[in-house]
């Protein structure tokens, strides 16, 4: 087969020169072109086509997308916040000393003085003195004299704690001038010494507390108070009160508190009485943006008997700070000592019975701050066992001295109270409070000499760059129930006291004041046989340095 292929290839190769030689014999004449070729297309028949839209697809397709989850790591660098300058409030000049002296009608002398020494890093020391006396010569022995002098101070240590001390002496002199309003004693000569009462009290106290923030955010304090009291008729009382308290802050917002208190009282006249109480007060307070809640309790002990009381309040912000609602429950053993009873009624007998008032109080209300207006309203119910009330001593130990005995009874109390503070203009402040109690004694016919309705109001206005202070005050109280001379329950006259006052500083250090009390000359009897002074005026000068 291969040899045949070789033969054909050889024959083809030998034939190529022959063809090449034959092409050289082509003719070489000239060709003349007479007309250019013109190509034409025949006319085509036009086909008319009418386009039609396809049918609308009404099928709604649902597409499902599957997106795989992926966690992204994003760095948020802390923002650079530039502080904005805020306008500073004007800092008023401080003064170390204060002095106020005045005289008035009826014969009145008034002196109020204080002076403070400061060393912010080491100590502070304060001295004070107060004298107030009045003698209404229109009513025999309608007079009083009150004197008080005291010193207190703190000393701060570098270790973050401080100690304090207190010393105070008080002399409160009153007179039993009620005999002037007893027809049976009319015209009878009365010696001032026979109807004079002087409550003398010496107070001492020491304490320790942390003056700097501790590492564990734990605040502590402990103090001890001691007092000695006597009157003009042989009654004496001494009290010792020891308190310790600790507060642990959680996240700088919430607090865990625990307190311990021992309260000892010894009273002597012709007999000796002791009233000793112990208190344990744990609580937790939660501070949230919209909710504040205090949950705690009080464990009290008296004569080996234990009492448990709630100490709780929950406050919820409904509209920010404009409107908040609160509910709460509280209770305690409240001591009735010779000191506390005579502070409330200076005309009591010297021989009293000391008791604890065991009370339980449930309440609820609303409160808020509307920038220029602060308000609070509350209703509550209280059950008080051994609540103190007062009646004229009958028969009297001394017929000249109109004195009051202390009665105790279990009383149910329904209470409504409200307060309002408005600052509509710069320098203008309007304050009002109202308190209404409805008493229901278990044994007594009335809550003797306890007021049911009390209304207080004041308007304060500072002007002339705070150099001038103008004020108006009003005090309203219902007539308290008492037993009249026939032994029938009645009510004494009520209180309606309107007062005006002004104080003007001529310079930074010196000023003058005037106070007109009881403009309507209301001689209300807060205690049976003891009307008030009526209208009285006090004028004087004041200094600060």
Distance CA 526, CA 477 (A): 9
First to last CA, the chain: 143
> Strands 196-210 and 218-230, how do they pair?
antiparallel
pLDDT at 462 over 70: yes
Residues with Cβ < 8 Å from 428, sequence gap 6 or more? 459, 460, 461, 462
Average pLDDT over residues 40-67: 64
SS3 94: coil
Give Cα 432 distance to the centre of its chain.
Answer: 16
Give the model confidence (pLDDT) of 165-197 as tens digits: 999 999 999 999 999 999 999 888 899 999 999
- Inter-residue contact 280 to 245 (CB < 8 Å): no
Please tell me the least confidently modeled range out of 71-80, 269-278, 292-301.
71-80
Pairs from 421-426 (Cβ < 8 Å, separation ≥ 24): 421/373, 421/374, 421/375, 422/372, 422/373, 422/374, 423/372, 423/373, 424/372
Q: Please, are residues 63 and 77 in contact by the beta-carbon 8 Å criterion?
A: no
| Dist. CA 163–CA 207, nearest whole Å | 6
CA distance 210 to 203: 24
Task: Supply φ then ψ for residue 184, to 5 degrees.
Answer: -70, -15
Q: How far is CA 413 from CA 31, 380, 385, 390, in A?
A: 144, 8, 11, 17
Which 3 state secondary structure label does DSSP give 479? coil
Radius of gyration in angstroms for the set of CA atoms belonging to the chain, rounded to a whole number:
48
Give Cα 11 to chain centroid, integer Å: 131
Whole-number average pLDDT of the chain: 90
Residues 6+ apart with CB under 8 A from 338: 229, 235, 237, 267, 352, 354
CB 244 within 8 A of CB 221: yes
93-180: CATH number: 3.90.1150.210
d(CA 137, CA 175): 13
Q: What is the pTM of this model?
A: 0.82
Per-domain residue ranges of the chain: 93-180, 416-545
> Could you count the other beta carbons within 10 Å of the beta carbon of residue 227?
19
Residue pLDDT, tens place only, 98-151: 999 999 999 999 999 999 998 878 999 999 999 999 999 999 999 999 999 999
Helices and strands (H, E) in the chain, number of each type: 2, 26
d(CA 102, CA 514): 9
Picking from 72-81, 253-262, 301-310, which range would have the lowest pLDDT averaged per residue? 72-81
**How does pLDDT run across 40-49, given as a tens digit for each residue?**
656 666 666 6
Q: Tokens 């500083």 — which residue?
A: 505
By the 8 A CB rule, do 137 and 129 touch? no
């Amino acid at each position: 087969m291969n040899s045949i292929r070789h033969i054909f290839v050889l024959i083809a190769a030998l034939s190529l020169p022959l063809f090449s030689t034959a092409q050289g014999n082509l003719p070489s004449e000239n060709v003349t072109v007479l007309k250019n070729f013109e190509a034409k297309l025949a006319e085509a028949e036009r086909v008319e086509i009418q386009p039609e839209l396809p049918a609308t697809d009404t099928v709604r397709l649902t597409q499902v997308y599957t997106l795989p989850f992926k966690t992204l790591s994003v760095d948020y660098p802390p923002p650079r916040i530039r502080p904005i300058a805020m306008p500073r409030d004007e800092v008023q000049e401080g003064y170390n000393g204060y002095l106020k002296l005045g005289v008035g009608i009826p014969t009145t002398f008034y002196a109020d003085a204080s002076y403070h020494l400061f060393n912010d890093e080491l100590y502070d020391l304060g001295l004070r003195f107060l004298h107030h006396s009045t003698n209404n010569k229109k009513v025999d022995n309608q007079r009083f004299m009150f004197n008080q002098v005291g010193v207190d101070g703190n000393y701060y240590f570098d270790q973050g704690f401080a100690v304090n001390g207190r010393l105070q002496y008080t002399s409160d002199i009153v007179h039993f001038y009620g005999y002037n309003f007893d027809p049976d004693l009319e015209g009878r000569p009365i010696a001032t010494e026979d109807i004079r009462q002087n409550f003398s009290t010496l107070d001492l106290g020491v304490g320790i507390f942390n003056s700097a923030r501790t590492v564990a955010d734990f605040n502590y304090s402990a103090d001890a108070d001691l007092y000695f009291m006597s009157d003009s008729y042989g009654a004496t009382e001494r009290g010792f009160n020891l308190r310790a308290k600790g507060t642990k802050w959680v996240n700088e917002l919430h607090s865990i508190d625990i307190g311990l208190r021992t309260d000892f009282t010894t009273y002597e006249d012709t007999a000796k009485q002791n009233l000793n109480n112990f208190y344990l007060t744990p609580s937790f307070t939660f501070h949230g943006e919209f909710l504040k809640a205090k949950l705690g309790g009080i464990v009290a002990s008296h004569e080996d008997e234990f009492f448990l009381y709630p100490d709780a309040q929950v406050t919820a912000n409904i509209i920010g700070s404009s409107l908040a609602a609160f509910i709460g429950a509280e209770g305690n053993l409240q001591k009735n000592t010779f000191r506390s009873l005579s502070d409330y009624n200076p005309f009591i007998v010297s021989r009293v019975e000391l008791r604890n008032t065991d009370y339980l109080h449930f309440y609820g209300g609303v409160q808020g701050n509307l920038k220029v207006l602060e308000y609070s309203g509350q209703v509550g119910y209280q059950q008080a066992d051994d609540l103190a009330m007062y009646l004229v001593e009958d028969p009297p130990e001394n017929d000249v001295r109109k004195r009051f005995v202390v009665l105790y009874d279990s009383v149910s109390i329904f209470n409504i109270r409200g307060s309002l503070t408005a600052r509509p203009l710069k320098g203008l402040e309007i304050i009002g409070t109202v308190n209404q109690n409805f008493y229901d004694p278990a044994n007594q016919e009335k809550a003797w000499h306890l007021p049911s309705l009390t209304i207080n109001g004041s308007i304060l206005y500072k002007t002339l760059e705070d150099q001038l202070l103008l004020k108006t005050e009003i005090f309203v109280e219902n007539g308290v129930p008492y037993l009249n001379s026939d032994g029938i329950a009645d009510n004494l006259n009520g209180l309606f006291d309107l007062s005006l006052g002004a104080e003007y500083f001529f310079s930074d250090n010196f000023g003058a004041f005037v106070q007109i009390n009881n403009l309507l000359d209301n001689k209300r009897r807060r205690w049976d046989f003891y009307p008030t002074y009526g209208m009285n005026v006090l004028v004087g000068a004041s200094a600060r340095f």
